[in-house]
Structure 1
Amino acid sequence: MDPLLPRTVDAYLERIGADRPVRPDAPALRELQLRHLLAVPFENLSIHLGEEIVLDEAALLDKIVARRRGGFCYELNGAFAALLRALGFRVTLLQARVHGDGGRLGIPYDHLVLRVETADGTGPWLADVGFGDHARGPLALDDRGDQKDPAGTFRIAPVTAEADAGFGDLDVLCDDEPRLRVEPRPRTFADFRAGAWYHRTSPDSHFTRAPVCSRCTDDGRITLTGRTLRTTVGGRRHDTALGDDAEVLAAYREHFGVRLDRLPNNSDLR
C-alpha cells in the first residue's frame, strides 16, 4: 500500500476526533481505537444500496474519510490499518472466523483483524474496529490471562490440538463465550476479497438479511436496523419505532453522520 499523504492522515484524525499521537505507543493505539469506534459506524448499507464494495485503500479512505461513511470489518479494519501505518505503527493483517450459534465457525476469511506492534515494546496488540459490539481497547495478543474492558472480560487462549489447523490458532473469548478464532499467519488485503464477496452476496450471510448501522457511545451503543432505533445504556435496551422515510434518513444523519438520499433495502442486493 502506498503511504498516506499528510493531509489524508489529518483528515482521518479529524474524522475520528483524535489528535496526532506524539509516538506510536500503546496508549496512542488505545485512544485511536476508542475514537474510531465512537465516530465511525459499523454498517452494511452499501450492500442494501447496491453500491460496489471495493477492498482498495484509496476507495476505503474515500468512503470512510471523505464521504464520512462506515463499513463492515474488511473496510473498517483495512482503513484503520492504513492510518496506523501512517502514524508509525507496525501492522499485520490477520484472518479470523466468527464463532456463531452453537459454536459453529464462520467461513475462512470471515473477519479481518489487526496485529499491531508499538514503539514502546508492549504488545503485540490485537486491534479491531470492525466487529460491532466488541472490545473497546486493543487486547494483548500474547497475554493468556483475563483482560478487563468496558465491553466485558476478554481472554485469548490457544485452541485445542484437535481444532488447531497447525498454525497456532487462538480463540478470543468475552465473558467466557468464544467470539473469534484468529489465525496468526500474516495475510494481504487481497486474501479477504472472497470473504467480502460472500458476505455481500450470499443469502446465508447475516449481512444480506437487513440493513444495519451501529456505533459505540460513551455509555453504550446505538443501532438502527430497518425502522427501529435501539439505544443501549448500561445493558438496558430501548427501542424506538421510526415512521416515514424522512424520519429514518434523519436518524442516519443525526446518530451516525451518514447522509443518504434514499433508504437501503433488500431489493438492491446484487
Structure 2
Amino acid sequence: MNPTQVDAYLHRLGAARPARPTAEALRDLHLRHLRTVPFENLSIHLGEEIVLEEKRLLDKVTGAGRGGFCYELNGAFAALLTALGFEVSPLAGRVYGDEGRLGIPYDHLALRVGTVDGGEWLADVGFGAHSHFPLAFGERGEQADPGGTFRISGAGPDAAGVRGETGTGAGDLDVLRDGKPQYRLEVRPRVLGDFTAGAWWHSTSPSSHFTQSLVCSRVTEEGGRITLSGRTLTVTAADGAREVRELLRDEEVLGVYRERFGIELGCVPTVGAPGNTSRNG
C-alpha cells in the first residue's frame, strides 16, 4: 500500500495513524473495522467479480465504500496492518457446519498478527458475528469479549467434541465461541493467492451458503449488531434483545444499505443463479 491508500483506509475507519504497531492500536483498528466495513456477499448476487488482489480489495473497501466476506475483509485488513508496521500472517481455516462437519480447505481466512509490545493475536474482521477484539493467540483459556466467550484450543479428532474428523494437522487450532466450535485454523502461514479456489467455490457453488442467501452485517456503535438478510432487517442490542422487521419497498431496502451500511446501490440485489457472472481472478 502507498501512503495515499493507507490514509484513505484509515479515513474510512475514522482512525488516526497509530504511532506504533501496538496491541492497543490493533484493538482499536479491529473494532473500528467491524463497526464500519460490513460483512457482505452482495457482489455474488450483483454479478461483480471477486478478485483476490490487494489493489482490487482496497479499491472495493476504500474507493467503493463496500465490504465483503472473509477473503476480502481480512485480505484488505492484512494489507493495512502490514503497511502500519504490524507482522501479519494469513492463516487458512475450515468452518464448522452442520453436525460439526468441517468445510472445504481454505474455507476461511484469518490473521495472525504480531505487535511491537511482544503480543501475538488472532485478528478476524471477516467472520460475521465473532469477537469484537483480537484474541490472544497463545492463550488457551477462556477469553471474555463483547461478542461472547472465546477459547483457542489445540485441535484433535475429539478436541471440539467432534468425532470422525480426519486430516488434522500438527498444531492446528480450534476457535470456539461460547463453547461451540467456529472454525479450525492451520498455523502454517499462507498468502492471499492461496485462497483463490476457496473464494471461487464460495462465489459459484450451489452448495455454498453465500450463493443461497444475501447478507450485509456490521457491529453497531452500542456493541450490538445490525443485519440485512435480503429484505429482513434485524437489529440486535448489546444485551441480546432483537428487533426484526420486513422491508416491503425497494426504497426501504436501498435506504438501509445507504444509511446503515454506507453502501450506495442502484438496484436491490436478489439471490441469483450461482456461477453465472461471478468468478475469482
In the superposition, the TM-score normalised over structure 1's length comes to 0.96
Residue among 247, 252, 257 paired with 1:242: 247
Q: 1:228, 1:239 within 8 Å by CA — same for their partners in 2?
A: yes
Distance 1:103 1:127 in 2: 23
1:246 deviation in Å? 1.5
Residue among 186, 194, 197 paired with 2:189: 186
1:18 deviation in Å? 1.1
Q: Does 1:138 align with 2:134?
A: yes
Q: Could you list the runs of 4 or more consecutive aligned residues of structure 1 that deviate by over 3 angstroms after TM superposition?
A: 161-164
Q: How does 1:1-270 map to 2 (within 5 A)?
A: 4-122=1-119, 124-160=120-156, 163=166, 165-217=168-220, 218-233=222-237, 234-267=239-272, 269=274, 270=276
1:75 deviation in Å? 0.1
1:100 deviation in Å? 1.1
Distance 1:252 1:160 in 2: 42
1:267 deviation in Å? 2.8
Distance 1:166 1:172 in 2: 15
After superposition, give the CA deviation of every residue in 1:75-116 in whole Å (9 maximum; x if it has no partner): 000000000000000100100011112111111100000010
Q: 2:82 aligns to what SS in structure 1?
A: helix
1:160 deviation in Å? 2.0
Q: 2:232, 2:245 within 8 Å by CA — same for their partners in 1?
A: yes
1:164 deviation in Å? 5.8
Mean CA deviation greater in 160-169 or 203-212: 160-169
Q: 2:185 aligns to what SS in structure 1?
A: strand
1:264 deviation in Å? 1.1
Mean CA deviation greater in 211-220 or 32-41: 211-220
1:216 deviation in Å? 0.5
Q: 2:272 aligns to what SS in structure 1?
A: helix
Distance 1:58 1:186 in 2: 21
RMSD: 1.2
Distance 1:137 1:15 in 2: 19
Q: Any stretches of 5+ residues in structure 2 without a counterpart? A: 159-165, 277-281
Q: Any stretches of 5+ residues in structure 1 without a counterpart? A: none
1:125 deviation in Å? 0.6
Q: 2:146, 2:223 within 8 Å by CA — same for their partners in 1?
A: no
Q: 1:97, 1:110 within 8 Å by CA — same for their partners in 2?
A: yes
> What is the count of residue pairs matched by the alignment?
266
**Which letter does structure 1 place at the counterpart of 2:227?**
T
Mean CA deviation greater in 166-175 or 253-262: 166-175
After superposition, give the CA deviation of every residue in 1:112-153 in whole Å (9 maximum; x if it has no partner): 00010001112x111000000000111111111111100111
Mean CA deviation greater in 212-221 or 156-165: 156-165
**Which letter does structure 1 place at the counterpart of 2:135?**
L
Q: 1:132, 1:215 within 8 Å by CA — same for their partners in 2?
A: yes
Distance 1:240 1:160 in 2: 42
Q: 1:19 aligns to what SS in structure 2?
A: coil
Distance 1:161 1:108 in 2: 17
Q: 2:211, 2:272 within 8 Å by CA — same for their partners in 1?
A: no
